[in-house]
Structure 1
Amino acid sequence: MDGSAVVPADEAIWVSRAKEGDQAAFEAIFQHYERQIYGFIYRMMGNAEDASDLTQECFIRAYRALSQTSDDLNISAWLHRIASNACLDVLRRRQRIRWLPWETHKHEHLLHGRPMDDPERQALSLETQATVHQVLQQMSPRNRMALILREFEGMSCEDIGQVMGLSRSAVKSVLFRAREEFRRTYRRLEEASRS
């Protein structure tokens, strides 16, 4: 995809045109969401190679399934759902689940377009990321996923519900439990480090 597509202001137009076979419309969708989906997959998988492969797989699956979607499709939530399913498929095949959300210091410039120039800020960021990673490693996969989607991806409860296959009220409950689990685990790790 060469970067020449212009993204329409209304996502419904992209979806409608892409469903009719307009390759430029699908290219616009790809260009608009590629970095976001790559970043999400990178945090789920923990390495750039898997993130690149699964991002490509996600958009291939999306292209093939787009004609079967409804006209009021929330494209962002739908793509995140495809991406999360692709990640979970690979992780299940590998018989292990390794989540590395928020551990972006090695690739931050790729995800955010800027390197971390301040050494003190970078050290604090690395320390914080290590702590968050350690806490998240001890959380249930469902709670981890909810926190990644809400706190890092910035998704609404409705969008998280579409990604995780839950109602809005169920998402709120999962997020409440996830935050409580995060706090308990964080405090426990903090107390253990002081001992």
Structure 2
Amino acid sequence: MDQELLRANREAARLVQQFLKGQSRAFPALVQLFTPRVMSIIRRLVSSYHDGEDLHNEIWLKVAQHLHKYDTTLPFHSWLYRIASNACIDFLRKKREIVLEDEQLHQQVHKQPTDRVKSPELFLLEKESYSELTSLLDSLNDTDRLILTLRFVQELSYEEIGSMVGMSKNTIGTRLFRARKHLKELLDRQREERRRSDAAY
């Protein structure tokens, strides 16, 4: 973790304590302290300015609602990124579902007789696979979920991800390898259980 982030975490712990003691001015200072980092994450994930602003406001609203649960002995940025990653992943999941639906509608409206349009069954199967994968992401800790999203949705480099979450390039690589392995094991296990269940009927 870089020195700047360490200083920001120390200042955040102080501001949180002030806010919980009734000093309302401490919260805007907390927002200002970490807004550049939060917006950096959001801008990498969300192309729409208005969606990004809405997501930013949503994240800080959740922070305000749950600030009393924050353990000030832990780095504030980790707790904040947990909330931010949940909000971003939920947004991306909803966006992906909308895109899939829009693509299917577009195909149905504009298809030509020679087009090989996917059957509704195949389309639903692909959507189900995506939902299956996103549900498995919930088994990861929030930092790993965010790292995976930044790497494989936004295709950021290890250096870019590391600068956003306060980790070295090597650490990012290690966590990505372990997270992908864990996801693959869960996915293989889930599909094997489904195959056995189908074979029983």
User: Which has more radius of gyration?
Assistant: 2
Higher RCO (CA 8 Å, separation ≥ 6 residues): 2
**What is the TM-score when the length of structure 2 is the normalising length?**
0.48
**What is the TM-score when the length of structure 1 is the normalising length?**
0.50
